[in-house]
Structure 1
Amino acid sequence: MKENIKHLFSRMKRRKANIHKPEKEKSGIRKDTSKRTAFAVWSLIGGLLFVSTLAVMLSVNTRSTFNDLRAAVNDDDDQQEEEGDMDIITADTFLRDFVDAYMNVSNDPDALEQRRQELDHYMASRETEEEWDIYDVEMEGERRLENADLFHVDETDGEAVFAYAVTYVNEREEEIEPEDDDDDPQIEVTNEEKTLLLNIPVVEQDGQYAVTREPYFTAVDDLAGSITVENEDRQMDAYVGDEQEAILAFVNEFFEEYASGEEDDLTYMMQDPESLDGTFNYEGTVNETIEQQEDEFLVNTEVQMTEDVTGLNYTFEVDLYIGESNGNYIVETMDYQ
């Protein structure tokens, strides 16, 4: 029995070994990957668009921030510049009394002590105990200020130098021994007038001022320059028509009233009445030229007048623009040349 079973299993193994499983042929059809490729491409495009949009937004935001920062810096610079400009009028008011105290010097001890106290009020404080040289005065006679005018102001970083044209007198008394011993000594007074620039360095802080350095003298600059003015080559188309005599007669009558009359007397002759109110006497006009324009006449002339009291000659060139009103001539505009 056992042998029969063993024989049966042996036959089954041999039969199974003789069975050949056919090899599976590879398919020639490739899988469809187009959807996956399209998804990848569109994902890449979307990513690029997102990155580009983000870059533009960052650029705009950066530019806006930069512009705001630059505007803030400019505003700060403008504010500092405005704050750096010294108020000339108030500084001049502060320095006027300083100029008086500095320039007026006497060899009297009490006067010198008073001057020292006055100057100390205007001088800046020093970190050391060293005194300003302007306090130490040794002199003979006195210095007396006659006049002081603000000449110019030089502003630098943190400081301004105010230059005053000062006219002052140095006066000294000198005792002269007499030739005769019995005579009393004679007192001779020497006066010397000078004009120089007194330069005063000043600083300002919170609307208050102080002199920061010793004042110093320099020569007064000559402001008169060698300047040549070119004469205007004026070309006018002279009018010699029927109204020429009437216009010149009106001009003479007008200047007669303008020189010696009152403003009310010119209401019918001038669009905006004005007069010299009798200060001058009208003498006449010379070099008259009339030009006809679109709606008016232009009269260029030299007017001669004399001062009422002194008889001093006064000549000026003027352009009169003359129109018509209610059939009469009227000065619309008068321009001094």
Structure 2
Amino acid sequence: MKNRFKGKFRQIKKPDKERSSVRKDNSKRTAFFVWLLIIGMLFIATVSILLSINTRSTLNESNQSIEARENEEVKEEIPHASANEFLSSFVREYINVPNESAALDERAKNIKEYMVFNEAFNDDRNPLYNLDGVSGTRTLETFNLFNIEDKGDVSLYQYKVTFKNQVEREVEKEVKKGKKKEVEIETETEEKENTLLLNIPIIYENGLFSVSAIPYFTKVPSLAGNIEYEKETIGLDEYNGNEKENIAVFMNTFFEKYSTESIEEMAYLMEEPQTLNGSFLFEEISDLMVYIDGGNYKVSLEVIFRDELTNIQQVNQVEMTISKNGNNFYVEEFNYI
């Protein structure tokens, strides 16, 4: 019975499940992923462009920086001490002009050694070397470096020079000999001194110098100016107490020692010892003003020294900060103003 039931059960087949002919709509999902992909690609492209622009800008800045450094390296900084040494010899050769043919030829040869190497200055006919019609001499008296101007590739060195021009002339003079007068030829020397600014343009390369153009003279400019200036006032309360007289006594004692004593002795009276060590004699102080400066005193005064030999006086204004310990004063700060 049981076996018969099993047999019937095996004979019953489970019907196949029919698949639905209606498919699920995935278009929205597909469109979403497509747009997401497009947006992502646009984002990556934008970021790439920005990074490219930034990289190019950085690269350009780096290249400009490198070029600037290279340009700086190309233009060597002129060592002024060496340039002055070079030009000191040139100034002597240039200013000194003899009145003798062989000496003029030697001068021209020497000056040529200082000039740049080009067609103009290699030509012996250059006016720099030929001084036609010379009838006197020019002699250098003094010179000193006045100013330096940077003009790009060329540096202009200006020297204040004083030179003397001399011309010898033959003149006829009547000379009395006994009762007769005779005419004799005498030589007279006419002199004229000039002080001018000698302007010398030079170039510099690999530790060497050359004069790049013919030097020229200009008037020496004045360096004095009407510059308004008021000394800063001491913003402290003035002191007129009992110690003012004691401070005045100390000031006289201090400057007596300051003018004559050694540094070692002055160390007992001041924080940073100074001394004139006998160069001047102390004469007097004047215009003494005392102010309260915290726990110390600020002192402003005029001190007069005098040279013992010539009696020439030296007047200076001084500001000092002094402290007091017991009955003793001590100079904490000392300044000429």
- Identity, in percent, stands at 29
Q: Which string of whole-angstrom CA distances, capped at 9 and with x for unpartnered residues, describes residues 128-169 of structure 1? A: 646321221221121111111122223323222322221111
TM-score by length of 2: 0.82
State whether structure 2 residue 261 is matched by structure 1 residue 267: no
Query: Aligned residue for 2:173?
Result: 178
How do residues 185-200 of structure 1 correspond to structure 2 at under 5 angstroms? 185-200=185-200
Structure 2: state its 5+ residue gaps: 1-19, 176-180
Q: Secondary structure, in 3 states, of the residue corresponding to 1:178?
A: strand
Shift in CA distance, 68/29, structure 1 to aligned 2, threshold 3 Å: same
Q: Which residue of 1 aligns with 2:137?
A: 142
Distance 1:60 1:176 in 2: 87
1:277 is matched with which residue? 277
Letter in structure 2 aligned against 1:44: I
Given the alignment of the two structures, is residue 320 of structure 1 paired with residue 320 of structure 2, yes or no? yes
User: Cα gap change, 1:228/1:60 in structure 2, threshold over 3 Å: closer, same or farther?
Assistant: closer
Structure 1 window deviating more from structure 2 (27-36 vs 156-165): it is 27-36
Residue 205 of structure 1, CA deviation: 2.3
Q: Distance in 1 between matches of 2:51 and 2:220?
A: 64
Q: Deviations over 1:274-327 (max 9, x none)?
A: 111012222222121211222321111111221222222222111111124576
1:219 counterpart residue number: 219
Measure how far apart 1:334 and its partner are.
0.4
Cα pair 1:84 1:158 within 8 Å, conserved: no
Is 1:107 the counterpart of 2:107 in the alignment?
Answer: no
1:68 aligns with 2:80: no
Write the deviation string for residues 25-71 of structure 1: whole angstroms up to 9, x where unpaired. xx996632144244334433443443344345434433432332343
For residues 127 and 269 of structure 1, what CA distance do their matches in structure 2 show?
71
Q: 1:38 to 1:227 in 2, by over 3 A?
A: closer
Change (3 A) 1:130 1:90: same
Q: SS of the counterpart of 2:184?
A: coil
Q: Cα 1:31–1:134, aligned 2, differ >3 Å: closer, same or farther?
A: same
RMSD of Structure 2 on Structure 1 (CA): 2.6
Contact residue 299 and residue 322 of structure 2 kept, 8 A: yes
Secondary structure of 1:283 counterpart: strand
Q: Which moved more, 1:325-334 or 1:97-106?
A: 325-334
Q: Against the structure 1 CA distance between its residues 124 and 51, is the aligned structure 2 distance closer, same or farther, given a 3 Å change threshold?
A: closer
Give the SS at the match of 1:100: helix
SS of residue paired to 2:277: coil
State whether residues 76 and 204 of structure 2, in contact with CA within 8 Å, keep that contact through their aligned partners in structure 1: no
Instruction: Provide the residue aligned with 1:32 in structure 2.
Output: 25
Range with greater deviation from structure 2 (324-333 or 152-161)? 324-333
Structure 1 residues not aligned, in runs of 5+? 1-26
Q: How far apart in 2 are the matches of 1:328 and 1:37? A: 100
